[in-house]
Amino acid sequence: MERLPHKLQLKLSERLTNGSMRSLKKGGDLIDFSSNDYLGLAGKKMINEATTAILKERNLNENGATGSRLLTGNHILYKELEDFLALYHNSKTALVFNSGYDANIGFFSSVPQRGDIILYDELVHASIRDGIKMSNAKSYKFKHNDLKNLGEKISLSLRAQSRSKDSEIYIVTESVFSMDGDSPDIKALADFCAKNGCYLVIDEAHATGIFGDGKDLVCQLGLEEKVFARIITFGKALGSHGAVVLGSHDLKTYLVNFARSLIYTTALSPHTVASVLSAYQYLETSSSADRLELKENIKYFKEQIQFLNLNGGFIESNSAIHSLIIPRNERVKQVSKNLQSEGFDVKPILSPTVKAGQERLRFCLHSYNTKEEISRVLSITRNLIK
């Protein structure tokens, strides 16, 4: 049956009307200011070669995992990777999931229980929001990076819901926000949670591999013991695929038993796990130059923003993500299209992905971008938005 149901047709028509229709596009040969491959690890030949060597040394020839991790898919590389990750990120244990989306869905749908309360930053990733929707706990959002508002929301939520002696409060944020590129005051959040008996959960997707000598922002701040769980993903600076939840031994045991996105899906292939292990080994031993180049590019990008008087439109960020607010879907799409015609891959972020009026160009910086490329793309952008 080819006819799309009427309600679905209406939803597509609405997307067309407001200029937010999505489509799958082929990758091109444009200068990369869009991908999450911040350190260029996705294209490192030595990581590819190391992956092949790992598989050969362990005599792993299977193309797939053959089943879920609780059935036949928990091949020997999983333990090797998880042991490495726990040590590398200074955590008691590590549990690998198939993706960051799976990790967040699995964690938030299973850990907070009925009668518990979840307070989450209003700008957390869609995967966190979707996991929270699947939870039986009550959830409330607080203003972005606003500790005072968080305290107020806790008081309001407790009054709205009679708290039993065994109910818990989970505070959820990101160390680097994917659309704004900014960071919360994690130390203040950790102190707040310790004072109020809350469990702090931090998604480190866009900080992993960049901060903390190639670890993450929590490690850089020395707050590992004050965070209940960290979600680390491998699809950004690691240039690979998958994710891991870091936490206590009891948390890992619980997730193995109750996280449905782990239990009821085929495991990652030996090749994928080997590629993550190879990327981490590179990160540990050989990535300091890549991180330094990225750091220099971030500094230069910010200097050029000031030089070109663009600072009023950019959200303040010290990460690899820098967003220039250009309201209205059609306008930001046109600026992006013009930049692409000049050879630069800079993507527009449209509503409803972000709030209406907060549409933006999202510049992702990399270790392999040149200063000339940075100067040119910002100069062209300035001329386009005059």
**Ordered DSSP codes for 15-75:** HHHTT---------SSEESS-S-TT-GGG-HHHHHHHHHHHHHTT---SS--S-TTTT---
pLDDT for residue 20:
87
Q: What is the mean pLDDT of the chain?
A: 95
Please give the average per-residue pLDDT across 284-289, as a whole number: 94
CATH superfamily to which 288-385 belongs:
Aspartate Aminotransferase, domain 1 (3.90.1150.10)
State both tokens at 99.
Answer: 């993706």
For residues 120 and 139, give the distance between their C-alpha atoms in angstroms, rounded to a whole number: 8
**AA letter at 198:** C
CATH 3.40.640.10 applies to domain 45-285: yes
Does pLDDT of 159 surpass 80?
no
Whether 344 has a pLDDT exceeding 70, the answer reads yes
Q: What is the pTM of this model?
A: 0.94
The radius of gyration of the chain's CA atoms, rounded to the nearest angstrom, is 22
Mean pLDDT of 311-336: 96
Three-state DSSP state, 238: coil
Percent of the chain whose pLDDT exceeds 90: 91
Answer yes or no: is pLDDT of 355 > 80: yes
pLDDT value at position 283? Answer: 96
**According to CATH, where is 3.40.640.10 located in the chain?**
45-285
Residue 2 has a pLDDT of: 85
Q: What average pLDDT score do residues 62-85 get? A: 96
Residue ranges, CATH 3.90.1150.10, the chain: 288-385
Residue 161 has a pLDDT of 67
